[in-house]
Amino acid sequence: MKYIKYAFILSLFLYSCSKDEIDDITIDPPDPPVIVDCELDYTTLQSSYNKISSHYQPMNIPFVDYAALLNTTLSPVGLFGIYAASGNFDGNSDPDVVMVTNNGDNPSENEVVIALDGIVRIAFKSPQVGTRKISVKDLNQDSIDDIILFGHGPDVANSSGDYTTIIYMYGNGSYKVAEIGSVSGYHHTGAVGPLGINGGLPDVLEINSQAFTNDPDGFVNLYWNNGLSELWIQDETNIPNHWVARIYHSELFDFNNDGIMDLILGGHEWEESWMATASGTVQWRTHILKGLGNGQFDIENPVILPSIVNWGVITDFDMYDLDKDGQTEIIITRTTGKDNTPGIPWEGQIYDGHIIQILKGSNFSWYEWKRIEQPSEIFSNPTIHIEWPYATKVYDVNKDCLLDIVPESDKLNSSTYASYNTIRGLYYEQQENGNFLIKYKR
């Protein structure tokens, strides 16, 4: 009886409504099925041995506005850059970030700033004049990442250089800064991983690309980890100083899964006339040196990787199985460069734009699989050039569990850097068919 009464009242109500109002109260179609985001576990993307290399960075997060974290505004004029790396610097599962400013115009203002769980907690004057690479690895086996700074000092010929420096992080926001390098040098790059000197602990390899001038018979330095004592012993590899005269980027990675770290190297991929008469071989080609263990590498048989004409400046290496076929791909980030170009941004000539080259292969046999081309406006827009992506990130941006490629730079990430507004959020989104599409995360 009660229901009949309600039905009667409802029918009166419906009768009193116009047709439009009746449409308004019709029942909506059922919701489309909810698509659940796919969450990649970044710790599963590398083999257990390659997790001991500083290439392994499961806490990487893209699109961080480093300039905003530092409360600074980047300028298109002058020599100021922010170098950054992610890690676990406080022992919890939220990503932390370390930033080091490299102010070529006023190096005394360089600082190290560490944000824990997104909040700036540590800031101090940088011990380096020209930090150029930050590696992250737990060096003292306390399950908290430590920070390794490679610096080249003033970015000039015959540079006074920088000492390789470690920032030990102790988890409660406390830290210790230690210069481990015994040689101040033009360390544009370096890498951290077990070199087989003292068991499986990560060692530090620093690459001084100017060392061949004052130490032409010398070899690339390494520092082996004496473990929990945080003591470092200087040693050397068998890589001659001349060999790395044009090497500005490097990573340790076991390409052939033999449990010995191999070394991928690149920088300026062109031959200059002086090299022909140099007292040692300058290996200007992008290449892999097979690791032989005990800090030694197979110099006699470098694995030469495919070059790209006029895109000869290497800015980053990444190794991931992008297409889930069980084989690692090598992702090489490049910007423009060739012989006889001025060393400043020069439209279309040097340090202008980027290209992502992806190699397929296995062990020590590699071929170019594909190139990812930048949006055309990067080349046509004269205000976008030198801020090349020095830290490309491989990351699943759109949460479909396919790895995407994010070409990052301090300026591209900075919301206040107006000249880059049109390309901010740029990434290359992997599709099911293995192609990468230009996309923008807004």
Task: Retrieve residue 257's tokens.
Answer: 């899964």
Using a 10 angstrom Cβ sphere, with 0-12 exposed, 13-18 middle and 19 or more buried, the burial of residue 176 is exposed
DSSP 8-state class, residue 3: H
Query: Which residue in the set 140, 164, 225, 430 belongs to the binding site for Ca ion (CB under 5 A)?
Result: 140
Site for Ca ion in 95-114 (CB under 5 A): 96
Question: Which among 94-102, 238-246, 268-276, 394-402 is the span making contact with Ca ion, rule CB under 5 A?
Answer: 94-102
Binding mask 247-286 for Ca ion (x = CB under 5 A): -------x-x-x-x-x------------------------
Binding mask 320-349 for Ca ion (x = CB under 5 A): -x-x-x-x-x--------------------
Query: Which residue in the set 92, 158, 376, 416 belongs to the binding site for Ca ion (CB under 5 A)?
Result: 92
CA R_g for the chain: 26
- CA gap 374, 359 in Å, rounded: 17
Which among 393, 391, 390, 389 has a CA at the least distance from the CA of 378?
389
Which CB atom, from 196 or from 312, has the smaller least distance to Ca ion? 196
Which CB atom, from 66 or from 212, has the smaller least distance to Ca ion? 66
Query: Which residue in the set 37, 109, 117, 377 belongs to the binding site for Ca ion (CB under 5 A)?
Result: 117
Which CB atom, from 73 or from 92, has the smaller least distance to Ca ion? 92
Site for Ca ion in 303-322 (CB under 5 A): 321
CA angle, 316 then 212 then 307, to 5°? 35
Which CB atom, from 211 or from 405, has the smaller least distance to Ca ion? 405
Within 13 A of 423's CA, how many CA atoms are on the CB side?
27
Which CB atom, from 70 or from 144, has the smaller least distance to Ca ion? 144
In the block, which residue shows the tokens 């009949």? 4
Verify binding: residue 138, Ca ion, rule CB under 5 A. yes
Binding mask 35-74 for Ca ion (x = CB under 5 A): ----------------------------------------
Which string of b and e fits 336-353 if b means at least 16 CB within 10 Å? bbeeebeeebeeebbbbb
Task: Name the amino acid, one letter, at 175.
Answer: Y
Which CB atom, from 117 or from 271, has the smaller least distance to Ca ion? 117
- CA gap 433, 422 in Å, rounded: 27
* Sheet architecture: strand order including 146-151: 131-137, 146-151, 165-169, 175-179
What is the smallest separation between the CB atom of 131 and Ca ion, expressed in angstroms? 20
- CA gap 427, 405 in Å, rounded: 6
Which CB atom, from 162 or from 329, has the smaller least distance to Ca ion? 329
**Residues in the site for Ca ion, rule: CB under 5 A?**
90, 92, 94, 96, 117, 138, 140, 142, 144, 146, 254, 256, 258, 260, 262, 291, 321, 323, 325, 327, 329
